[in-house]
Structure 1
Amino acid sequence: MGFHRWWQVTLVIVCLFSSSIVEGLQTYYDQESLDSFLRMQANKEIKNPRTGVLYNVSIPSNLTGMEVSVVRLRSFSLWSRGMNYSFFNLPPQIMSRPSQKRIAILYENLGNCSSHYYNVPNYTMVAPVLGVMAYSSSESALVGEKINFIVRGDPIKIWFPHVDERGRKGTPICARFTAKGLVKFRNMTKPYVCEVNRPGHYTLVIPSFSSPNEFHTQSHGKRFTTWWVLGFAIGFIGLVILALILLALIMEVKKRKIRKMEKNSAGEELFDTFWIGETKLPLASSLRTQPILEN
């Protein structure tokens, strides 16, 4: 393998190593992909669903900790009676937009996977992310396209039964995650209860740093980790580049020695060379006088 080939291979390795470091610093997964997967999983598992019956959706092992359920309702039933389930209370007078004959409600508890999909800058989540999603529903697909709610009466209530110690010591606030990646905040109306007026994903948060000492300690730890990772990456790339430079110098010195030996062996006259198999032989140019025809 030639030097240029080695150089290309090394550059590929360096790029892959650098990208793996960057990906290692990013621990969040795609939220839309999760929603699409849960929708397909519900359609795959639940065949011939009955209207008004709540079904649990099985979750693969890599999503252990999540709980997902789905129910199909008639729009009139949702408007007249609402729907209560676990941590969610959907009161009457809820309309779908666009209008649908049947609606599929997907209830999500992301559990210990919440922090993999959602993050609130400068805040700490003290409860799992709970989601209530609305979809169109038909005979061909239990869960169809995503739709919206219009709440004409009382707001939707979401209870958070699992709040960690940090949240119980302070006063959390409700956080709603929007499709554009923004976070909207709203105060709790009751302890660990959020009142909302649209489907989506919600959680409880507190400010990340409750005191100057805590802020200094955590920010120092983050800076140390970041600089350590960057320093390691820069050092590794520098060593690779240095090794390539040394390799180039060694190969150039060897080439010069070989050319000098070839020149000396030919009586100070440098010959061209050619290969026969794996043997390199000198090649002398033709010096014979060309014949001239006489009249």
Structure 2
Amino acid sequence: MNSKSLTCCLVFLLYTGLFSSTSPSSLIHVNSTTSVLNVTIPHSLSQSLENFALKALTTQHHTGALYRAILPENLSGIEVSIVRLTGKSLWNSGAKFSNVLIPARSVSVPPARRVAIVYQNLGNWSNHWYTVPGYRLIASVLGFRVLDVSDQDNVKEISLRIKNHVEISFRGLTNESDEKLLSRVRCVSFKAQTEDEEASHISRMVLPGVCYGSSHGDYSVIEPLESDKKKVESWRVWIVGFVLGFGLLGFLGIACTMVIRMLRTNKIQVMMERDADDGEVFERRWVGGSKMPSAAVTRTLPEPETGSLG
């Protein structure tokens, strides 16, 4: 058994011992684990949080009211709350509790007469259970699960079919400008069930502090690690330098070509002028006190007439 498996077993035994006093009727039996990126999250943690939420719900009977679960000290930093709704009200109005907006026209799968939505904020446990290679979490992991509570003796986790996107709000990320925030951070969603095709999904943040999802699960906000930022900036510098260098070389090449053409043109012009000056040689004679060029006088020779006089 490797160290990772041993750690998961120890965590499972710890939470099993802590929550063994919970009523068996409210337990949700899930024995598998969900693999998310490079960590393995035991369902025992999610199951235990749901058990505490259900315990808070059994002492309260008001439909549509949000109740906060009481957690032990060893889970301090995590917040769990629960609300019970009818399937009809979920379809007509959706649900908006604990920074999560579930839109109207949402229906449970399979259909349930009464559903309970468990909200969880992992707080300072977020980085312990979730890691994204190349990124770091800059916000707590927020999530929600849907339970069928139509039969209190057979509570089970179900899914939602959502017409529009779920909206998750992350308040107070930073004090920087919205434009800088949107360009720097990304939204990440972690699916709640292993049968999903993708266990996680990274997307751009459209509105500051708001992420959108298509199903129940966990959500958070991430930003690239500094090393990755430097690599991206280094690549940008190399690309910009290459483009500028290529442009400079092209400009210098064009300038050199134009200079060479101008020099050749000037040289040809000088040679032509020199050839023109050297094309006819004049003799020089002294005229007075100056030596002047003198061309030889050529007399036109007379030509005899061949015709007869009439």
Q: Same fold (TM over 0.5)?
A: yes
Once superposed, what is the RMSD of the aligned Cα atoms?
Answer: 3.3
Q: SS at the partner of 1:211?
A: helix
Mapping 1:177-196, distance limit 5 Å: 177-178=190-191, 179-180=193-194, 182-196=199-213
Deviations 1:156-209 (A, max 9, x none): 110011425799495211111134483211222211211112100011111223
Q: Distance in 1 between matches of 2:159 and 2:57?
A: 23
Unpaired runs of 5+ residues, structure 2, are 12-37, 235-310
Q: What letter is aligned with 1:47? A: T
Q: 2:84 aligns with which of 45, 67, 72?
A: 72
Letter matched to residue 90 of structure 2: L
The answer on 1:210 being equivalent to 2:229 is yes
Structure 2 residue 72 is matched with structure 1 residue 60: yes
Structure 1 distance, partners of 2:233, 2:76, is 32
Residues in 2 aligned to 1:91 and 1:19: alpha-carbon distance in whole angstroms: 43
Are residue 173 (structure 1) and residue 186 (structure 2) matched? yes
Partner amino acid, structure 1, of 2:170? F
Q: 2:100 aligns with which of 70, 88, 98?
A: 88
In the aligned structure 1, how far is the partner of 2:186 from the partner of 2:3?
A: 36
CA separation of 1:214 and 1:165: change in aligned 2, threshold 3 A: farther
Larger Rg: 2
The reply on whether 1:126 has 2:138 as its aligned counterpart is yes
Q: 1:136: which partner in 2?
A: 148
Q: Judge conservation of contact 1:120–1:183 (CA < 8 Å) in 2.
A: no
Counterpart of 2:63?
51
Following superposition, the deviation at residue 97 of structure 1 comes to 0.6
1:282 — aligned with what?
none
Q: Secondary structure at the match of 1:30?
A: strand
Q: Distance in 2 between matches of 1:19 and 1:88?
A: 36
1:246-257 equivalence runs, <5 A: none
How far residue 45 of structure 1 moved from its aligned partner, in angstroms, is 3.5
Aligned match of 1:199: 216
Alpha-carbon distance between aligned partners in 2 of 1:19 and 1:80, rounded to the nearest angstrom? 49
Which AA in structure 2 matches 1:176? S
SS of the residue corresponding to residue 63 of structure 2 reads coil
Alignment partners' CA distance in 2, 1:164 and 1:58: 30
CA drift of 1:88 comes to 1.1
What letter matches 2:199 in structure 1? Answer: L
TM-score (norm 2): 0.56
In structure 2, what is the equivalent of residue 158 of structure 1?
Answer: 168
Tell whether 2:166 aligns with 1:149.
no
Number of residue-to-residue matches in the alignment = 195
* Runs of 4+ off more than 6 Å: 26-29
Structure 1 pair 163/147, CA: closer, same or farther in 2 (3 Å)?
same
Residue 92 of structure 1 and its aligned partner are, at CA, apart by 0.7
Letter in 2 for 1:60: P
CA deviation after TM superposition for structure 1 residue 140, in Å: 1.8
Q: Is the 8 A contact 1:128 1:162 kept in 2?
A: no
CA deviations over 1:3-60 (Å, ceiling 9, x no partner): xxxxxxxxxxxx9xx959x96xx99673412111011112233325322121100121
> What is the percentage of aligned positions where both structures have the same residue?
31
Structure 2 SS opposite 1:201: strand
Query: Does structure 2 retain, via aligned residues, the 8 Å contact 1:66–1:113?
Result: yes
Alignment match of 2:50 (pick from 22, 39, 45): 39
3-state SS in 2 of match to 1:70: strand
